[in-house]
Structure formats: C-alpha cells, structure tokens
Chains A and B, each alone.
Chain A
Amino acid sequence: MLAWTIYISFLGAAGLLLLPKGSVAFARILALLTAVAGFAVALVAFVHHRTGEMQTITRVPWIPSLGIEYHLAADGISLTLVLLTGIIAITGILFSWNIEERTKEFFAFYLLLIGAVYGVFLSYDLFLLFVFYEIVIIPKYFLIAIWGSTRREYGAMKLALYSFVGSAMVLVGLIAAYVVAGAKTTSLHDLAQFPFSLHFQMLAFPLVFVGFAILAGLWPLHTWAPTGHVAAPTAASMLLAGVVMKLGAYGCLRVAMVLFPLGLGPWGFHVFGLGSWRDVFALLAVIGIIYGALVALVQKDFKFVIGYSSVSHMGFILLGLMTLNQIGLSGAVLQMYSHGILAGLLFAVVGRMVYARTHTRELALLGPMNLNKVIPFAAVTFVIAGMAGMGLPGFSGFVAELMILIGVWRAYPLLALFVGIGIVIGVVYIWRAMQKAFFSEARVESAPHQPPLPPISFPERLGAIILIGASVLVGIYPQMLLNIVIPALNSPLFAGLRQGSWQ
C-alpha cells in the first residue's frame, strides 16, 4: 500500500507531461491532487503502523543473477520521513501556484523528485535505494536551472555535481561491501549482518558517511547548500531544505552507520585529540552549527540567511547521529522532521510571500517597504517560523534540539557548550533578519512610489497553516513520532550500533 506513494507520484509526473499545451490551471490541480493522494497513502500507513518495527511492503526478485531485490519496507524512521515528504510535497505545490512559465514541466519534475524521495525512504535494498537516490539529482538540477533566480545555472550545476560526487563515494563503498560480502545480496538486512573486517569498516565507513553527509550539508562540504537554496524557486528550496537534505542524513544513519558500525569505534591512537571517525564527524557537525549561524548573522540577502540557517540546523542532526545514544539519535530523527517543516516554512515566506512580491531579497531594501503593515500575514508567519526554529517550547524544534542537547551532554559534555552557543547565535540571526525585513522604521516618502503589493493568496495561507500545524502538533505531542522512532532504533537492524558504543 505504502509503495503507492512512489507510483502515484511517478504516474502524476507522466500524466502531466502528456497534458495538452496551455492547460496551466489543470496542471496545477492535477499536481496538487497527486501530492494529496501520496500524502493520504502515507498518512493511512502512518496511522496503521503502531509498532515502529520494519515491515516489508513489497518484495520481489529484481535482478536474480546478482541477488538484487525490489524490496520496499518501512519502519518508524522511514514513516516519519515519508510523512514529512507528503506534507512538504503538498505545501510546495501550494506555494508554487504562481508558476506560469512551463507549468506542466515544472510540476512533472517536481513530482518525479517527490516520487524518488519516497523511494529512497522506503527502500530496503541498497541497490534500489541507490537508484532512487540518484534519480533525485536530475529533476533537482532542472527545477533550479529553469525556474530559479540568482545565478541559477551556477547554483544548479554546483548542486548536481556535489550530489553526484557524494553518490559516487557511496557507490564505491556499496560495490566494495557487496563484493566483499560475496556478491550474493544487496539486501540491507543481510549485509548489515555480514561480519566485515574492522580494517574494511574503518575505510568504508568514512567514505559512505561523507558521501551521504555531503547532501546533508556537512561542513566543509556544505557550500552547495546556500547557493543552491538561494538559486532555487520557492518550491524547490522547500524540497531541498525540507527533504533532500534529509536524504543525506537518512543515508548516514540507515546505510553508513548500520552497515559499518565498527567504523565508529576508536582508532587506537589520537590525532589532535580526536580518537575516532565519530569524534571527527561530531566536531565537524559542531563547526557546522556555529559556522552556519555566524555566517547567517552577517548576510545581506534574506534567502541566504535561511540558507545558512539550514546548514546550522543540519549540523544538529549530524551531531545527534554521532552521540550514539538513544535520546540523541531519536532527537536527530525528530530534528529531521522538524527542520524539514520549518525550513520549508521559512523558504516559503522569503521566496514566495516576500520575494515574489517585492522582487528583492536585500534586507536593506526590504526594511523601508514597511512589510509588517503591507503583508502582515507574511510577517506573522515568519515570526512564528523563526520562533519555532530558535527552539521555542510548543514547537517541534524545541523537543528535537533538547533531545539532541541531552544526548550530546552525555556523549561529549564539552561540545554541548558550543552547541548552546550555536543556539544563542541562532536566536540572534533570526531576530536580526526579522527586525530588518519586517519591523524596521518605515520611510514614508518611499512608499507611495511603489504599486501596492498583491495580498497573500489563499493557497499561500493554506500552505503556511498546514506547516505551522504540523510543527505545533509534534511540538505538543512528540510521542506521536517518538512512539515509532524509538522502537525502530531498538530493532535488530541497529544491533551492530548498539553493541558498539551505544550508551
């Protein structure tokens, strides 16, 4: 049943391409219906799946000569992310209601991307997972290069190449693991149980982990993220920050850490005080948190602020993964959901509500426009999203970051201090952007020269309300997700990790 999230999206994309020329309104509605149908399927599965353990959806032989299966399965982690994908897919379409140029193609690429993302989250066979993971690259490139803004072709190419380099690293690791294990199966379950030698894991783990982490915005390989986000059209930024970066984090957790748990163990010697890959990546994640926040603090372009904030927030996820304790890991999964929703919301406000109307994202130019009076809905939404992003109690971000912080406190007490600093800077940059964009002193003389901005439309309001609701719901009742995420982390698949340095 859950497999239909993938098929519906692909069918929707194909259907859009076959529409006659000029049917713009119909294309939008068809895309929206497809996304809603996908979300409905995901929601039904989410409600029915109460244990959080891995359940097979479809399993048929695909390439029997190589032991490759078409195997889809879902556990609590994948379900959480599938649900997130469904929400982002719907709201992304609502916020792209104003796309007039080559509408059909836009939504076709969009749905292709969504379908592939569903596929990654649901794959339980590594070959299949990799296939879906790579399909994501191409529509992403075209969405940005065709419908983007600032330096779009550069941003799109950079994004595509970074992704492809990352997936090339993953491919090397996967082929090596497959061959070392006897070239009989690519099933994640079977390979996770194969006793790879310590030496092999020490080499393969960083390769595959970094390969995935490039897409998760690991510092210093994050530079594609701000340029890509800024160049992308609103819906694509929402997708990029909302779900595509999660693909990277998901791959780190699901593939790199599950296949090569020994790679996280100590090297047996110390370099600059770092004793294992785990220490290295934890440190890089913390640098990412602080660096992203500091750079966001000095940006002049509104969208770059959000772009760098994404790097900072993704640092939390990677750090949560490296804590290797239950609270830290489940916090990381929760943060994947939370950041997906909130980054989507922030990009929607900046890209669609503000930029599409004012045609500028310069904070200095936005200030005099008196936006909190002209488009109060955008101002209110941004305030809420900003608060949620900072970690205000009652929103999903609070729970997630708190859990990660506790996890870090247990694993790396010293780093927890720096994370605290990162959170504080997070408050400052959001506050500064909010102040400059929406609440700065209005200069009366400049206002009359400009035509009045169009009011916030209904699809935009609806999208914003859905996203805020999704964040508040989890903020108030995090057990909704944790009830299935924690059993998933305790399942046999993660046994290798738990036996390692799980605390």
Chain B
Amino acid sequence: MTEINYAQLLQLAMPEVIVVATALIVMAIDLLALRKFPTHLRFSVAATLASLGCAGAILRIVLAPAQANILDGTLIANPVTHLVQVALLVLTIFTLLITVDSTFTEHVGEFVLLILVATAGMMFLVGSQDLLVIFISLELLSLSLYILAAFSKRSAQSWEAALKYFLFGGMSAAFLLFGFSLLYGLSNSTSLTHLAAAIHGPSLNPLLAIAIVTTAIGLGFKIAAAPFHFWAPDVYQGAPAPSAAFIASGSKVASFFIFFQVMALGFGGADGTASFPHIVRGWIPVLALMATLSMLLGNLVAIRQSSLRRLLAYSAIAHAGYMLLAIIAHTQQSLAALLYYVVTYALATLGAFAVIAVVEQQKGSDQLSNFDGLSRQAPVLSFSLAIFILSLAGIPPLAGFFGKFYLFVTVLASTPKPADLVWLVVLAIAMSAVSLYYYLRVLKRVYVTPLAAESREFHSPILSQILLLVLAGAVVLLGCAPQLLLKWVLAAVSASGL
C-alpha cells in the first residue's frame, strides 16, 4: 500500500474543487443577497458567476496540465481526461447560458448549484479508472440529474419524468453495482487494469458473463441505448429545457467516455467478436446487440413523433447506437472518433434544446405544429435549428457528417479483416438514411409550411440568438475544418496510450 499524498491529491482535483467552490459561492450569493430581485436578474448573475467558475477550471486544466496516476487509477490525469473535462466544462457553460431566460423556477441558486455539482461528478467520473470511484461519481451525477429533471415544480410532466428517471436509474445503478461486486470478487481489486489482468483467459467464466451483462445494462442506461432507453423520451419531454439539454449533452459525453474505458480497459481480456456469423462470446456481442437495437428502434420510432423533444430523444437513442460501434471497435482511433462524434453531437443537441427553450416560452409547447412557419418569424433561430438538425442527420459540411464518416472508417479499420464489422456499418449507414426523413420533417415545418394567419408577435431574446449563432458556427466550423478538433483529440489519445 503506497502512502497517500494528500497535497498532491488536492492539487490534482483542483479543477473539480474550483467547480464545487463556485457552486457554493453562487448559492450563497443568490440566497443571501438576491432573493428579492426578479428571476431574470438572479439567473443572469448566477449563470455568469458559474460560467466564470467553469472558465476558471478550464484555465486551471489548460495552464497547469498535470500527469498523474494515483493509487492504481483512483484518480487519473492525462491528456485525454483533460480534453474530456474541458469539453464537459464548455458544454456546462453553454447550458448555464441557456438558463438565463428561463422562468420555470424561483430556486435559482439551487438549480445552478446542482448543475455544477453534476459537472464535478462528471469530471471525477472521467478522471478515474477505479470501479468504486466510477460508481460514486456516477451516482453524484445521476442524483443531481434526477433533481434537475424534476425542477419544474409546477409541471406534473416534469415530476413524472423525474420519477421515472429515478426509478429506472436506481434499478440500473443496482445492476451496475452488482456487476462491479462480481468483478471485485473475480479480480480482488477495484482497479480496471488489475481487473483486465485477472480476467484474461481463453474461456469465459459464467460469473464474468453475468458481470459483463449487468455492467453493460448499468452503463447502457446512462447513454440511453435500447433496450434500456425507456426513461429518455419522458425525461427529454418533461424536464425543463436547460436540464434536458444538460442530460442530453454533457452527461452523454461523460457516460460514453467511461463506457469506453470500462469496456476497453476493464474487460480487455474478454472481448469476443461480433463478426457475423462467427460470433465469439464476450462483451462485444452484447454491445453489438445493443447497438443494433438502438439504431433500429431509435430511428424507426422517431418517425412517428409529433413533439420535437421526443423526436430528439429517439434520435439520441439512434445516435447512441452509432456511437456504441466505436466502443465495439475499441482502438485508439475509434476512441478519437467517439470523442469527436460525441462532442459535436452534444453541441448540436444543446443548440436544438436552446431553440426549443425559446419556442416553448413564446408558444407554450414543443409540438411540431408550433414550429410551423418559424423561418418567417425568427430567421436566426430557424437557421441555427436547421444547422443543428442537419448536423444530426449527418449532412456535410456539418460536424455530424465528419463524425459519422470518421467513426465508420475507424470501425471498419479496427479488425484485421474489414469485412468483420461491415454489417454493423452498413446497418448504421442505412439507418441514417432513414433518419433524414424525420429530420427533414422538422425542417419542413420550419421552412415550408406557411405561417398561421393569426400568429402572434415572436420575440427571440438577443442572448439566445448570439448563443445559437455561436453554437451553429461551431458546428459548421468543426464540419468544414475537422482538423481543428481532431488534431487535439488524436494527440491526446496517443499521448495517453489508451
């Protein structure tokens, strides 16, 4: 047992400490000084302060990048974790800026506090390769998210969604914990690297098989992969817009990253293959099944949706299916592809929710009919929504297209014979052709359908417009010049030697 150096521990966790400290300061200021002021002002102050805190944490990570591995992976800092943490913080800042114009609650301080605590949870989550720390950070994240989903107290839908999220989440956490406990029994260690060494062997231990399945269930729930997706449509629809945006973007980035790590590092010796029809048992066939179901179910059910939030939920399930392919490939390249994909996906989803937030405030709901003729009322909003939706659909030159292209390339290149995984890639590309149909239906409402004659004045807040243009600009830029982000991702991945 090595001696623990607490000073070093604190220093490594400094970015997280900054975020948590900011959370407490924001809540204190809001509750002590601003209680009597209008909600808008309180949200503005709280969001600004919190964003500054996040920016501080980013600066800390960028300016003093530490490389360390404490206690066999309990706390890890390397270029990849830094990259993901910075991405998470940036997404948090965008989420905070979306909240500024919201009116769903008077508990401003608590709301911002929860977002920041969830962010700290995500940062710990990506900075660890230890089963216990992973589980605890995941719970910190999840518990904050449950409350965030329920935050709109006046809306019964928000309650219902949160309750559903909580019940399903509790179940999946139990599965995850059960799997982790089996893994501990098998390897006598909670570290992912020790685990990989312990389970390495020619045959699959039945206990290990159970552990693989339960772990996949627990993590599959977090990324909303079918068949563990039941919470997603309700939460996406019921939660307040900023919460839903946060659940759909930041938490997805963190969960996918940790899913990749657990599978690629922890189960390194029990891969199996999914090359049809010679399937070998292991975790890969399990994930291949989840990916197939997610792609089929997400895309086919999304066609029938009449609410934009539910449509985005099912499209999220479909995207989870595509991204699972990168985990199945589990090479350095595919980790880079996954990170590129999930970050650009998160940007586009966040943007779409920002548009939904404005439209809901003006028109009352996110029904697709409320988007009829939007391009004549709010050209900036519509234009950015078009960019986000088309990026999700994978139309070049937007970021989503390059993400898909690179992802599929790395998946095919991951096996010695490209034909092994080709059936998954073909399915993914075919399904993304299906997805164009429902994405275009949204844009048809916005651009083609004539504006209803008695429609009221539409007011889009300036801040939202600027924010949307920034996000849309980022999506276009990352699509036209993928090298900007890809360069960092590739360098970080190869430097960390995952």
> Looking at A142, A146, A168, which has the most chain B CB atoms within 10 Å of its CB?
A168
Contact call B486/A168, Cβ cutoff below 8 A: no
Contact with A along B411-444 (1 / 0, CB 8 A): 0110000100010011001101100110010011
Of all chain A residues, the one with the shortest Cβ separation from B433 is A168
User: CB within 8 Å of A: which of B274-293?
Assistant: none
B260 on interface, CB distance cutoff 8 Å = no
State A160–B412 Cα separation when bound (angstroms). 27
Q: Smallest CB–CB gap between A268 and chain B, Å?
A: 21
Pairs across A and B, CB under 8 Å, 24 listed: A62-B483, A63-B402, A65-B486, A134-B401, A135-B397, A141-B440, A145-B448, A160-B436, A160-B440, A161-B436, A161-B437, A165-B433, A168-B430, A171-B405, A172-B425, A172-B426, A172-B429, A175-B408, A175-B425, A176-B418, A178-B409, A179-B409, A179-B412, A179-B418
Contacts A127-B405, A134-B401, A172-B429 given: A142-B448 contact, CB under 8 Å?
A: yes
Q: Smallest CB–CB gap between A159 and chain B, Å?
A: 11
For residue B483, which residues in chain A have a CB less than 8 angstroms away from its CB?
A: 62-65
Contacts A175-B408, A180-B418 given: A137-B395 contact, CB under 8 Å?
A: yes
Q: Which A residues lie at the B interface, using CB under 8 A?
A: 62-66, 127, 130-131, 134-135, 137-138, 141-142, 145-146, 153, 157, 160-161, 164-165, 168, 171-172, 175-176, 178-180, 183
For residue B482, which residues in chain A have a CB less than 8 angstroms away from its CB?
A: 63
For residue A142, which residues in chain B have a CB less than 8 angstroms away from its CB?
A: 443, 447-448
For residue B426, which residues in chain A have a CB less than 8 angstroms away from its CB?
A: 172
Q: Smallest CB–CB gap between B126 and chain A, Å?
A: 23
Contact call A134/B429, Cβ cutoff below 8 A: no
Chain A-chain B contacts (Cβ-Cβ < 8 Å), number: 75
B473 on interface, CB distance cutoff 8 Å = no
Q: Per a CB cutoff under 8 Å, which of A62, A146, A157, A179 touches B440?
A: A157
Contact call A179/B413, Cβ cutoff below 8 A: yes
For residue B425, which residues in chain A have a CB less than 8 angstroms away from its CB?
A: 172, 175
Q: Which B residues lie at the A interface, using CB under 8 A?
A: 390, 395-397, 401-402, 405-406, 408-409, 412-413, 418, 422, 425-426, 429-430, 432-433, 436-437, 440, 443-444, 447-448, 481-483, 486-487, 490
For residue B448, which residues in chain A have a CB less than 8 angstroms away from its CB?
A: 142, 145-146, 153
Of all chain A residues, the one with the shortest Cβ separation from B383 is A17
State A65–B409 Cα separation when bound (angstroms). 13
Contacts A135-B397, A141-B440 given: A171-B412 contact, CB under 8 Å?
A: no
State A20–B277 Cα separation when bound (angstroms). 60
State A419–B437 Cα separation when bound (angstroms). 37
Of all chain B residues, the one with the shortest Cβ separation from A64 is B483
State A142–B443 Cα separation when bound (angstroms). 9
Q: Smallest CB–CB gap between B304 and chain A, Å?
A: 16
Q: Per a CB cutoff under 8 Å, which of A63, A134, A165, A178 touches B396?
A: A134
For residue A138, which residues in chain B have a CB less than 8 angstroms away from its CB?
A: 390, 395
Q: Smallest CB–CB gap between B486 and chain A, Å?
A: 6
State A387–B185 Cα separation when bound (angstroms). 85
Q: Smallest CB–CB gap between A475 and chain B, Å?
A: 38
For residue A137, which residues in chain B have a CB less than 8 angstroms away from its CB?
A: 395
For residue B437, which residues in chain A have a CB less than 8 angstroms away from its CB?
A: 157, 161
State A160–B444 Cα separation when bound (angstroms). 12
For residue A165, which residues in chain B have a CB less than 8 angstroms away from its CB?
A: 433
Contact call B433/A175, Cβ cutoff below 8 A: no
Contact call A171/B409, Cβ cutoff below 8 A: no
Contact call B432/A183, Cβ cutoff below 8 A: no
The 5 nearest A-B residue pairs measured at CB? A131-B396, A168-B433, A179-B412, A145-B448, A164-B436
State A179–B418 Cα separation when bound (angstroms). 7
State A178–B412 Cα separation when bound (angstroms). 10
Q: Per a CB cutoff under 8 Å, which of A62, A131, A145, A176 touches B422?
A: A176
Contact call B395/A135, Cβ cutoff below 8 A: yes
Of all chain A residues, the one with the shortest Cβ separation from B375 is A105
Of all chain A residues, the one with the shortest Cβ separation from B336 is A65
Q: Smallest CB–CB gap between B85 and chain A, Å?
A: 23
State A165–B432 Cα separation when bound (angstroms). 9
For residue A63, which residues in chain B have a CB less than 8 angstroms away from its CB?
A: 402, 482-483, 486
For residue B433, which residues in chain A have a CB less than 8 angstroms away from its CB?
A: 161, 164-165, 168
For residue A62, which residues in chain B have a CB less than 8 angstroms away from its CB?
A: 481, 483
Contact call B395/A171, Cβ cutoff below 8 A: no
For residue A131, which residues in chain B have a CB less than 8 angstroms away from its CB?
A: 396-397, 401
State A7–B219 Cα separation when bound (angstroms). 46
Q: Smallest CB–CB gap between A274 and chain B, Å?
A: 25
Q: Per a CB cutoff under 8 Å, which of B405, B443, B487 touches A175?
A: B405
State A146–B490 Cα separation when bound (angstroms). 43
Q: Smallest CB–CB gap between B401 and chain A, Å?
A: 7
For residue B412, which residues in chain A have a CB less than 8 angstroms away from its CB?
A: 175-176, 179
Q: Smallest CB–CB gap between B327 and chain A, Å?
A: 19
Q: Per a CB cutoff under 8 Å, which of B390, B408, B444, B481 touches A145?
A: B444
State A145–B409 Cα separation when bound (angstroms). 34
State A160–B437 Cα separation when bound (angstroms). 8
State A66–B430 Cα separation when bound (angstroms). 24
For residue A134, which residues in chain B have a CB less than 8 angstroms away from its CB?
A: 395-396, 401
Of all chain B residues, the one with the shortest Cβ separation from A174 is B405
For residue B490, which residues in chain A have a CB less than 8 angstroms away from its CB?
A: 65
State A165–B431 Cα separation when bound (angstroms). 10
For residue A171, which residues in chain B have a CB less than 8 angstroms away from its CB?
A: 405, 408, 429
For residue A160, which residues in chain B have a CB less than 8 angstroms away from its CB?
A: 436, 440
For residue B413, which residues in chain A have a CB less than 8 angstroms away from its CB?
A: 179, 183
State A176–B405 Cα separation when bound (angstroms). 11
> Looking at A65, A142, A157, which has the most chain B CB atoms within 10 Å of its CB?
A65
Of all chain A residues, the one with the shortest Cβ separation from B418 is A179
Of all chain A residues, the one with the shortest Cβ separation from B486 is A65
A63-B483, A146-B448 provided; 6 other pairs, C-beta below 8 A?
A: A63-B486, A145-B444, A145-B448, A176-B418, A178-B409, A179-B409
For residue A164, which residues in chain B have a CB less than 8 angstroms away from its CB?
A: 433, 436
State A130–B447 Cα separation when bound (angstroms). 25
Q: Smallest CB–CB gap between A2 and chain B, Å?
A: 20
For residue A175, which residues in chain B have a CB less than 8 angstroms away from its CB?
A: 405, 408-409, 412, 425
Q: Per a CB cutoff under 8 Å, which of B406, B408, B444, B486 touches A153?
A: B444
For residue B422, which residues in chain A have a CB less than 8 angstroms away from its CB?
A: 176
